[in-house]
Structure 1
Amino acid sequence: MSALEDLIAAGRALVDAGLSPGTSGNVSVRDGDRLLMSGTGTRLGALTPEDIAVLTLAGEIVGGARPSKEVPLHVAMYARNPEHRAVVHVHSPSTVAVSCLEPWAPHSAVPPLTPYSLMRVGQVPLLDFVPPGDPAMGALITDCPVPFRAALLANHGAVVSAAEAAAAVDSTIELEEACRITLLTDGRQRRLIAPERVAEITARWGTPWTATASVS
């Protein structure tokens, strides 16, 4: 599929998974030296070519629809992970809920409860709150001291990048599930995956994880 078709399919998949209610959320794909991004106020499950904004890699508008206000967020994710070709931002229920809690650890708001989130996502730092669309979000992304391919935005939602659009959707779905399990186990005596096993899984799957002392 073309980059445009990938973007439209990703939007539909996010809505089908229940992760993008109404006109919330946005998706972009990198197509050579330009970005294609869902336009502001669009419904991700019903995107058409006319709903897509065309931007430079620096976020300058060169054609198409008016882009989402979250351009700085997307541009920063591509700058941080230049090998990635897709970025997803959602306000899905469980990611928003966990983003409103204190993080499990400095390097990850989501604890290592299942191997699947480690395999697909790795660590998920919680970034400080700034209003949606604030250019300061770009600096929070690029200046974060730990590696990541997914992050929670405090009191806001999640952002995920991946090598291609379908993988970004899959990782976003896995992150929502990991956050849901985090909420279900909150306040209970959790059985976390042991640090040495976390290291083995993330090394095998090439996902980021910062080695730390065990956190309950």
Structure 2
Amino acid sequence: MFLEENQAKEQIVAFAKSIFDRGLTSGASANMSVRIEEGWVMTPTNTCFGFLNADELSVVALDGTLLKGLPPSKEFRLHKAMYDKRPDDRCIIHLHSTYATALSCLPAENANNVVPTYTPYLTMRLGPIAMVPYFAPGDDHLAEAVGEIAADHPGIIMANHGPIVSAQTVESCVYGMEELEESCKLALLLQGLPANKLTNEQISTLLTRFKK
């Protein structure tokens, strides 16, 4: 079920401010969208999560045409690429959060699973996190790279850029992004230490029980 336009705007403003107030993003570096029947509502280009105005949010048609509000974030193609491959999802968030962005700058041993599994919670919410190569923000090749793996990965880290998360509700998208950031923080804090990771059997059990 789709949210109504005004509901989508209210949720974007409320959750974006919460994300900003808790230091998960700063400046005008993040973007968020919510699917509605006509297309999606999205944060405009060069706007800050802490100071959004519902009346200024971009309302964009499925083909990318601006229907009302300010011009959307230059990353709207990135969002569209994920929605196209995840038709049941209703919200996408992209941040430049500190720890996930820091991890995005490190080489990936396994591009299909870049965040070590120290706790069960990221696996429960998003499954394995994939990484795509670096492309400039707004580049069509970035959207293509994300679209190629989005069906199997609701959580993706873009190299030297940051994380993007897709989910079926706004709340679950926010919680997924928060868990991804915390898991990246743990990964960096434990880097080089003999920490215990979950076993393949334990991970497989989680993936079966909390299938994405």
The bucket for the TM-score relative to the shorter chain is: over 0.9
- Structure 1 residue aligned with 2:96: 91
Spell out the pairing of 1:4-19 with structure 2 (5 A cutoff).
4-19=9-24
Deviation string 1:21-58 (CA, Å, 9 cap, x unpaired) is: 11110000001131100011111122112330111123
Q: TM-score, normalised by structure 1?
A: 0.91
Q: What is the aligned counterpart of 2:153 among 148, 154, 158?
A: 148
- Structure 1 residue aligned with 2:129: 124
Asked if the contact 1:42/1:51 (under 8 Å) is kept, the reply is no
Deviation string 1:125-168 (CA, Å, 9 cap, x unpaired) is: 11110001111111101223871001000000000011111111
Asked if the contact 2:86/2:151 (under 8 Å) is kept, the reply is no
Give the direction of change, closer, same or farther, for the CA distance of 1:42–1:146 in structure 2 (3 Å limit): closer
SS at match of 1:94: helix
**Aligned partner letter, 2:77:** P
Unaligned runs of 5+ in 1: 208-216
Q: What is the aligned counterpart of 2:165 among 148, 160, 163?
A: 160
Sequence identity, in percent? 33
SS at match of 1:62: strand
Q: What is the aligned counterpart of 1:184 among 183, 189, 197?
A: 189
Spell out the pairing of 1:5-154 with structure 2 (5 A cutoff).
5-144=10-149, 147-154=152-159
Give the direction of change, closer, same or farther, for the CA distance of 1:57–1:15 in structure 2 (3 Å limit): same
Asked if the contact 2:100/2:180 (under 8 Å) is kept, the reply is yes
Question: Hey, what's the Cα distance between the residues in 1 that align with 2:150 and 2:45?
Answer: 31
Q: How far did 1:201 drift?
A: 0.9
Question: Hey, what's the Cα distance between the residues in 2 that align with 1:64 and 1:79?
Answer: 23
Give the direction of change, closer, same or farther, for the CA distance of 1:17–1:144 in structure 2 (3 Å limit): same
Question: Hey, what's the Cα distance between the residues in 2 that align with 1:116 and 1:52?
Answer: 32
- Structure 1 residue aligned with 2:7: 2
Give the direction of change, closer, same or farther, for the CA distance of 1:145–1:25 in structure 2 (3 Å limit): closer
Asked if the contact 1:14/1:44 (under 8 Å) is kept, the reply is yes
Let me know the Cα RMSD of the aligned residues.
Answer: 1.5
Question: Hey, what's the Cα distance between the residues in 2 that align with 1:14 and 1:145?
Answer: 23
Which is further off, 122-131 or 47-56? 47-56
Q: How many residues align?
A: 207
Question: Hey, what's the Cα distance between the residues in 2 that align with 1:119 and 1:16?
Answer: 26
Asked if the contact 2:13/2:53 (under 8 Å) is kept, the reply is yes
Unaligned runs of 5+ in 2: 1-5
SS at match of 1:6: helix
Residue 199 of structure 1 pairs with residue 207 of structure 2: no
**Aligned partner letter, 1:120:** R
Q: TM-score, normalised by structure 2?
A: 0.93
SS at match of 1:83: coil
- Structure 2 residue aligned with 1:214: none
- Structure 2 residue aligned with 1:210: none
